[in-house]
Structure 1
Amino acid sequence: MARTVGCVLVARASHRDRARGAHTTLSGSARPTKSDLQSQLEKTLALKPLVMFGAASGCASSAAVVSALDRAGIGCALIDLEGLPPEISADLQGLLQTLTGNDGPPWVFLGGHAAGSANDVLSLIESGELLARLARTQDWQAKAFMRKERTFEVVRTEKEWRSLLPKPAYDVLRGRTTEPSGSSKYTKEAPKSGHFACRGCHFPLYPALSKFISASGWPSFSYCYHSSKHGCNVGARRDRQPASELDEVHGVAASFEVFCARCGGHLGHVFFDTFSDENANGERHCVNGMALLYHADDPAEELRIEKLDILPPSFLDALSPELQ
């Protein structure tokens, strides 16, 4: 079946999900280098078994693949290159061309491996082979990111947690439920100083400067604290079983749960879909406001401000050789 392959894409910056404007730069204003971008690409491919980099409009090949995926009922993480800042989009397209050998979008990756040209992907969809490979990939990734039991510094009985926390906060932190969209006072607040801590144990989680206003309906953050004692103050684990009907509705069953690294309290989920010059990997911690407390001052101890650390060695070892 003949289809147009190889679109010339002119990146346009739409700056969606950025009502606050450009995110505050936390680590300098220099644009990410190619090696930084490659590292972020690896992380993006780790999060979803099927990822497509394409153009939402103006590219017949991207539109054909998206349409075929929709008809086959196959979910795919779509990175809209037209929605990225132009310089980031241009660098990313250059990297994708080098990795895949394809001159233009769409670039499709299955389990960290390039799936071929648009015609190759369309053939895989129509033959049913892509769906079969996707099932095997999802099974492998589930095992690679299997939740591991861990101990926490702050441990309380459920009775103690219930007496300590308001019921809505208990339901989120200990019951892993999701508060209604737009219900938190923190959703539309973007303080320029201070920090956000875990409501359960007051552990510093996010610097105020990492918060941005998104259209999601929940407080959003792009960076988190790291400490010498705990490593990343925000823990992450594969979340394949939604805890509530709201989680099911919002499609987080196959995402990464984020939690407090000191008490294990559920915070929300992390997605990689909000790109900007200062947030090159699109990292967005979608956090329940009930799990947080805002403090106007900085944490007492000196903490690093970095991205979430979630890639296990088993995934890095299995990535396409071109990405290593």
Structure 2
Amino acid sequence: MAKPKIQRSEREWREMLTDQEYAVGFQEGTERAFTPGNYESEKRKGVYHCKGCETPLWSSEHKFDSGTGWPSYWQPIGEGVVATKTDFKMIYPRTECHCANCGMHMGHVFKDGPPPTGQRWCINGIVLDFRPEGE
């Protein structure tokens, strides 16, 4: 994964994020599935931005109901906005994704999503800021 463009100290991140946002975003944690307010069931049109740097990362146009309890997308909003690396924390390697701009951990990408990409970008809603279309 390339070095993020926005860099802050741990102290700076901790001052701007809640403890849980920091744990998920910079200690590569995972929020519980079906956590209230995590955007899993959000149906409005709009854009999901990185909570760490406000970069637009995901569009409601690419969102689908995966049934997993986390917001899922079949692709990021554009090229180069999300960076990936291999995560070996489980029994098998997974592809972890981060905001390419600030490095905040978003979640993981799997190869069991819908057409046209076949990908399921499974994202922690706690690290997102949803902005409804027209607001």
Length-normalised TM-score, structure 2:
0.90
Q: Structure 1: how far apart are the matches of 2:117 and 2:131?
A: 27
The number of equivalent residue pairs is 133
The structure, 1 or 2, with the larger RCO (C-alpha pairs under 8 Å, 6+ apart) is 2
Q: Which has the higher helix share?
A: 1
Q: Structure 2: how far apart are the matches of 1:234 and 1:184?
A: 25
Alpha-carbon offset, residue 236 of structure 1: 1.1
Describe the SS at the equivalent of 2:15.
helix
- 1:188 matches 2:41: yes
Alpha-carbon offset, residue 225 of structure 1: 2.1
Match in the other structure for 2:50: 198
Q: Structure 2: how far apart are the matches of 1:158 and 1:259?
A: 17
Contact 1:184 1:288 in 2 (8 A): no
Alpha-carbon offset, residue 203 of structure 1: 0.6
Alpha-carbon offset, residue 184 of structure 1: 4.3
Q: Structure 1: how far apart are the matches of 2:36 and 2:95?
A: 21
Describe the SS at the equivalent of 1:152.
coil
- 1:272 matches 2:111: yes
Structure-2 change in CA distance of 1:221 and 1:184 (3 Å): farther
- Which of residues 108, 113, 118 is equivalent to 1:282? 118
Matches within 5 A, 1:18-29: none
Alpha-carbon offset, residue 291 of structure 1: 1.1
The runs of at least 4 consecutive aligned structure 1 residues that moved more than 3 Å come to none
Q: Structure 1: how far apart are the matches of 2:26 and 2:106?
A: 10
Alpha-carbon offset, residue 282 of structure 1: 1.7
- Which of residues 127, 131, 134 is equivalent to 1:295? 131
What is the identity percentage for the equivalent residue pairs of Structure 1 and Structure 2? Answer: 33
Q: Structure 2: how far apart are the matches of 1:213 and 1:170?
A: 26
Q: In structure 1, what residue type is equivalent to 2:9? A: T
CA shift digits 1:8-63 (9 cap, x unpaired): xxxxxxxxxxxxxxxxxxxxxxxxxxxxxxxxxxxxxxxxxxxxxxxxxxxxxxxx
- 1:223 matches 2:75: yes
Q: Structure 2: how far apart are the matches of 1:296 and 1:280?
A: 24
Q: In structure 2, what residue type is equivalent to 1:223? A: Q
Q: Structure 1: how far apart are the matches of 2:74 and 2:36?
A: 18
Q: Structure 2: how far apart are the matches of 1:167 and 1:155?
A: 19
CA shift digits 1:198-255 (9 cap, x unpaired): 01111100111111112111110112122xxxx4201111112x2xxxxx4xx6x411
- 1:263 matches 2:102: yes
Match in the other structure for 1:152: 4
Alpha-carbon offset, residue 274 of structure 1: 2.4
- 1:236 matches 2:84: yes
Alpha-carbon offset, residue 280 of structure 1: 3.1
Alpha-carbon offset, residue 281 of structure 1: 3.3
Matches within 5 A, 1:99-118: none
Match in the other structure for 2:25: 173
Pick the structure with greater CA Rg: 1
Q: Structure 1: how far apart are the matches of 2:33 and 2:87?
A: 20
Alpha-carbon offset, residue 272 of structure 1: 1.2
Length-normalised TM-score, structure 1:
0.39
Q: In structure 1, what residue type is equivalent to 2:42? A: E
Q: Which has the higher strand share?
A: 2
Measured on the aligned residues, the alpha-carbon RMSD in Å equals 1.6
Contact 1:184 1:290 in 2 (8 A): no
